[in-house]
Chain A
Amino acid sequence: MKRIACLCTITEPEDHTSHSENVFHIFDSARKFNKEQNIVGTFLVLNNVLLQILEGEPSGLANVVYRVNRDPRISNVAVILNTAIETPSFTRWSIKLLSEQCAAHRTYLQKIHSLINEKSLLKTNEDRIRYNKIFQSILSENIKQNQTPEEDSYTSTSFNNTLLGMSSWPRPTQLRVNAGLMKICPLLIGHTIEYKKLLELELFNSAQELNSYLQQLREAKALTIIQTQDPSNLHSFEAHQNKNQQTPRPGRFSQALKNFISGQGMRASKP
């Protein structure tokens, strides 16, 4: 049995096909073909760079490489790893679509990186660039971690003096959005907000309730927490201006909907 890693560039589609549709079609045909050839592995995409890790019998892998080389949607194919293995490290064939900002796949990327790293044959400069692009988030993450070792020892009681944000919604497989999360996630996604301001909005009956939802997000690794260095001076002007800010009163429609849904919930929970 063998493991190979193959770097490619996804070519710009000529017709009106969008990039995402193009990627999807390449993945979908690979999925079918690899199933026939009993190949497992992964398909990592970042912008126009595609890295495939494939595990299977040598003849099947040869077929894949032959096919990939002939695929007009893909160019610059480079096999950067070719090694014999005892047992596969993948159980199926999957796709991971990466994005520059997203940290969600970090652990996964680290695992892949360790599978290839020492044995990889990056022959050209271009291969090195493409390879680093795929792994940039963990490579830069390593640097960050070295700089802020205290990040992990963060405790739930200390949201004070922090700036909070989220880059994306929590995955339903990790954390189901509940009524409380519904209130705070839209404020955090793609934004940063001071914890203090979140408290002032009085979205919940108590600070503990707010903290418990923030804690859920933190545990699902969906929350970005930035410690603000000097809480007394930083943003003090803004904070002062907004001192009496509260949640804007919902309009009549929103209020009617809320009443209806909560009434409905009570009906449903009756025996």
Chain B
Amino acid sequence: MSNIYKKLAVVGEVGSGKTQLIKTISEISPFATEAKSSVDIGKEYTTVGIDYGRLSLSEDIALGLYGLPGQKRFQLLWDMVRNGLWGLLVLTKFNDELNVKSLDNILEHFDPINNQIPLVIGLTHIDTAENDQEIDLFIDIISYALEQHGINAPIVPVDPRDIESSLMILQLLDALEQSSAINMEATQNVV
């Protein structure tokens, strides 16, 4: 059977948890013998400022994890992983001033709707929130920004230090991808 290699782009501001998430997921990779080659392949990315990691699911199936800085001036890096993306995860650090402009740029550049890329907005550092209202307020602002792009993506809390929480994101992206096939036939679009 042929090899399958898919890519996940993890985009976000400094401190949003990209490095941590990629480390958490890569470290549980069951094919430890591959660790060295993964580092080798990743080198070309790390030298230009992309976090690279990989989750090997079997001998011939792997998910590449690419951590990309959120600002528009890194567009060249975004382009390096844009083709054949399996999913886009935008990490936002709770209670940092949300960089709406950068979120706008990411959504414009990757254009997840037209390119049919499953999109999840991950809310990190949510453990620093004092109450639910604070979280709601932040989510309000993000969903408003998404709405301007006609996007209705899940906004979910994630703790990149936690394996289960990080894998939940992959599970959600997979569910989004799977359902788009069903959506084509079984549902009616609401205009």
Contact = CB atoms under 8 A, between A and B. Distances in A.
A58 B176 CA distance: 52
Interface in B62-106: 63, 86, 97-98, 100-101, 104
Q: Which range contains the number of B residues in contact with the other chain? A: 35 or more
B32 interface: no
Given A19-B148, A171-B139, A261-B170, A94 B188 contact: no
Interface string A175-197: 01101001101110111110001
Interface string B20-56: 0000000010100000000000000000000000010
Contact of B164 (A177, A183, A192, A268): A268
A140 to B, nearest CB: 17
Contacts of B175: 182-183, 186
A23 B140 CA distance: 12
Given A21-B104, A193-B186, A247-B182, A173 B136 contact: yes
B159 interface: no
A20 B189 contact: no
Contacts of B143: 97, 168
Contact of A18 (B28, B55, B148, B170): B148
B186 A245 contact: yes
Contacts of B115: none
A218 interface: no
Given A167-B152, A177-B172, 13 more contacts: A20-B100, A20-B104, A24-B141, A92-B133, A96-B140, A177-B156, A187-B186, A189-B152, A191-B188, A191-B190, A192-B188, A193-B187, A201-B182
